[in-house]
Amino acid sequence: MRALRYLHFVLWCALVAIFVWIGAPIVASAIRENRLGPLETNRSIDAYLGALTGIEHGSEKLPDVFRRLGKDGSLLIFVRDENAQSEFLGMMIGYVSWPREVQIIKVTSPTVGKELADVKPSSVAGVVFCSADPPAWLQHRVSLGSGVVLVPLTEAASP
């Protein structure tokens, strides 16, 4: 019985020691990671938009741009299928464009083409391309940042 107790004690001491031995360096490195930055209001949105597109204070700039598209009409967002960065950027655009209705469309080719044929300009205020290229014939492109292009549809349609 005493031997069993010793075995129990030794087993758990060893297991706990190995657990801490493996876990502690990983946790320590996570604790050291990053610096304490300013506690800004839109810190997470700005950090992601900055990293993905190079836009500074994207949480303020992008909604400003979308506001200029007028009150009505939705925003079409084209993202590359199976491209996590493009899809994430599309979602971020969808996030900051609230309360405007958005539609996120995944495209398989690098250049958007036939997907635009179904677009009804009357109900769409603008089209955003996230890591996807607009077709060559589409005019009035506004580069919002690296890999993000906005085409205000009403302007694009006008001569």
Partner 1 sequence: MIVIGLIAALFTIFIAGFGITMLVFARGNQVNLIECACLSWLLGCGAVSLLLWMCGMVCSGLLLQSIVGVACLLLAIIGWRAKRSANSKIDLPRPVNILEWILGSLILIEIAVLVFVSFKHTLGWDGLLNWEIKARYAFLNDGVIPGSYYSSAGRGFSHPEYPLGVPFTELWLYLWMGEPNQSWMKIIFPFFFAAGAPLLALFVIRLSGRRSIGLLIAALLLFVPSISASPGGVVVGYVDIPLGVYYLAALGYLMLWSKTGDHRYIRMFAACSALLPWIKSEGIILWLVLAFLGFGLSLVRRRVVPFLISIVPGCALILCWRVYLKMVHLWPHSDFAHPSLRVLRDNSDRFSGIFGILFAELREPTHWSIFWLLAVIALIYLIASRKLERIALASAILAPVLLYSLTYVFSMWPSYAAHMTSSVPRLLLHVMPAGWLAIGLALSQTKREAQML
In the complex, the residues that contact partner 1 under the rule CB under 8 A are 5, 8, 11-12, 15-16, 18-20, 22-24, 26-27, 29-31, 33-45, 47-48, 74, 77, 88, 91-92, 94-95, 98-99, 101-104
Q: Give the residue with the Cβ less far from partner 1, 33 or 158.
A: 33
Short-list 127, 154, 158, 144, CA closest to 55: 144
In the bound complex, what is the minimum distance in angstroms from residue 57's beta carbon to partner 1? Answer: 13
Per DSSP bridges, beta strands 148-152 and 142-145 are: antiparallel
Q: How far is the CB of 56 from partner 1 (least distance, A)?
A: 15
Nearer to partner 1, 45 or 144 (CB): 45
* Site of tokens 């539609």: 103
- Min CB(136)–partner 1 separation in Å: 27
Q: How far is the CB of 159 from partner 1 (least distance, A)?
A: 30
Helix (H) or strand (E) run with residue 154 in it: helix 153-157
Whose Cβ is closer to partner 1: residue 20's or residue 157's?
Answer: 20
Q: How many whole angstroms separate alpha carbon 159 and alpha carbon 143? A: 20
CA distance 28 to 151: 46
Beta strands in 9-147 (DSSP E): 74-80, 102-107, 124-130, 142-145
Given the complex with partner 1, which of 9 and 139 has the nearer CB atom? Answer: 9
Rounded Cα distance, 73 and 137, in Å? 22
CB of 20 to partner 1, least distance (A): 5
Q: Rank residues 81 and 139 by Cβ distance to partner 1 and give the closer one.
A: 81
DSSP 84: H
